[in-house]
């Protein structure tokens, strides 16, 4: 979609502004879903690479990458432990929501879960998942998110937006960046 948008818009002689949003990043921040968050970030990174290819060939295009806010207060490392295990997330093959849907519909749900999350839960963890599964899709989805948090040692502080500073990255071949800094430096202070 990003490539197609650039192909169409870059034909405009008067220039263009394109906004590409990875909106699921916010949604999964609200639901504290690290596996889907990383999947969506991977998609977003692929979109950035498409934009970067275009900017490298262009003499006057500025790309700015940022977020309008943080959601969820994600912490990589939690529970007083100085470690995060992203390798766990690489093995998760579907969103917890999708895994729960499949596990609720399948009598062989233990194998379905193990195959999709990439590790075999302990007996105690299976008991928690079983209790959640008997309550339906949503409770099982939440239980799966928490299980993945525990195994990857991921922490969250909120189900809402936070006041954490967000990063801003930009890249261009010169002119675009100068135009932006000039505008900022000559704007009246508000």
* Residues at the site binding Zn ion, with contacts judged by CB under 5 A: 26
The three-state (H, E, C) secondary structure of 142-173, written as one string: HHHHHHHHHHHCEECCCCCEECCCCCEEEECC
**Residue closest to Zn ion, measured at CB:** 26
Residue 74 Cβ vs Zn ion, minimum distance, rounded to whole Å: 13
Which of residues 26 and 40 has its CB atom nearest to Zn ion in the complex? 26
- Which tokens hold the place of 189? 């202070």
CA distance to 11, 72, 156, 176, per residue, from 33 (Å): 39, 9, 9, 36
Q: Which is nearer to Zn ion, 39 or 176 (CB)?
A: 39
Least distance (Å) from Zn ion to the CB of residue 159? 10
Nearest distance from C-beta of residue 65 to Zn ion, angstroms: 18
CA dihedral 82, 117, 109, 135 (to 10 degrees): 50
26 versus 97: smaller Cβ distance to Zn ion: 26
| CB closer to Zn ion, 10 vs 158 | 158
- Least distance in angstroms from the C-beta of 36 to Zn ion: 14
């Amino acid at each position: 979609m990003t490539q197609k948008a650039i192909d169409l818009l870059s034909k405009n002689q008067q220039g263009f502004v394109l906004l590409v949003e990875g909106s699921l990043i916010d949604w999964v921040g609200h639901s504290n879903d690290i596996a889907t968050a990383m999947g969506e970030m991977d998609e977003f990174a692929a979109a950035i690479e498409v934009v970067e290819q275009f900017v490298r060939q262009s003499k006057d295009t500025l790309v700015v990458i940022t977020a309008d806010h943080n959601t969820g207060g994600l912490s990589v490392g939690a529970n007083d432990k100085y470690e995060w295990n992203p390798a766990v997330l690489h093995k998760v093959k579907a969103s917890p929501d999708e895994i729960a849907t499949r596990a609720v519909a399948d009598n062989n749900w233990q194998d379905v879960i193990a195959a999709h999350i990439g590790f075999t839960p302990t007996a105690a963890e299976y008991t928690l998942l079983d209790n959640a599964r008997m309550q339906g899709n949503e409770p099982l989805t939440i239980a799966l998110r928490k299980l993945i948090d525990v195994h990857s040692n991921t922490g969250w502080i909120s189900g809402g937006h936070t006041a954490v500073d967000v990063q801003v990255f930009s890249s261009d071949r010169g002119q675009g960046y100068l135009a932006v800094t000039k505008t900022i430096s000559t704007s009246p202070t508000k």
